[in-house]
């Protein structure tokens, strides 16, 4: 049985319920940091972002979102006019973001994963397990579970949504659509429950 012993160094936490455990062990820092030194990690991306932009503040009309899995881009429209484009990271092989026509079902600015996160020691908040799966692992004695942050969450399919997350430059999630923080905020602020979402290959 696992004892509630804190690890010596805080490791960045996966920033999505679409967490790729392999990434946690050296592939990338795409979880939010629990130390203040790493607090900026979830807002950064490993590659220069010369793709994402927003030019839709003055546009009006019904919103619509198009996600292209091949291009790894998301497009936001207002009244049929392109308002912004964002780099994204969608579901990896075996956990592909499901193509189809959807609508935004839920908006949650400060959403946290109910499936992936960390176990922390009660009383000290020290991280004991930085790769915890709440549904598959018992919480160690003396510890509690804290879900990984998925801020600016726009759910459009069961257990799948768009949110702020780490972008390694390829499809790497467990199905969700990760976005740079600034773009995730723009999409979140301009979409409403019922906004059409098209996911295409």
Helix (H, G, I), strand (E, B) or coil at 5: coil
Q: Yes or no: say if 178 and 88 are a contact pair by the CB < 8 Å rule.
A: yes
132: which 2 tokens? Answer: 């915890």
Active site residue 29: no
Residue with tokens 């009660």: 122
Active site residue 176: yes
Residue 148, φ and ψ in degrees, nearest 5? -65, 140
* DSSP string over 158-172: TTEEEEE----SS--
Helix (H, G, I), strand (E, B) or coil at 132: strand
Catalytic residue among 29, 111, 163, 174: 163
* Residues involved in catalysis: 163, 176
């Amino acid at each position: 049985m696992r004892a509630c012993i804190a690890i010596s160094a805080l490791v960045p936490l996966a920033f999505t319920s679409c967490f790729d455990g392999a990434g946690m062990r050296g592939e990338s820092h795409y979880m939010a940091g629990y130390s203040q030194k790493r607090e900026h990690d979830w807002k950064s991306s490993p590659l220069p972002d010369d793709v994402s932009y927003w030019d839709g503040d003055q546009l009006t009309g019904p919103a619509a979102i198009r996600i292209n899995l091949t291009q790894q881009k998301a497009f936001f429209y207002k009244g049929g006019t392109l308002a912004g484009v964002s780099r994204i990271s969608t579901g990896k092989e075996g956990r592909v973001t499901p193509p189809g026509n959807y609508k935004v079902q839920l908006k949650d600015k400060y959403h946290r994963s109910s499936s992936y996160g960390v176990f922390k020691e009660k009383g000290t908040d020290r991280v004991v397990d930085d790769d915890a799966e709440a549904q598959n692992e018992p919480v160690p004695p003396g510890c509690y579970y804290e879900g990984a942050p998925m801020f600016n969450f726009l759910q459009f399919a069961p257990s799948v949504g768009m949110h702020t997350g780490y972008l390694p430059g390829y499809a790497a999630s467990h199905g969700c659509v990760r976005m740079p923080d600034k773009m995730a905020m723009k999409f979140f602020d301009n979409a409403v429950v019922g906004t059409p979402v098209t996911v295409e290959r």
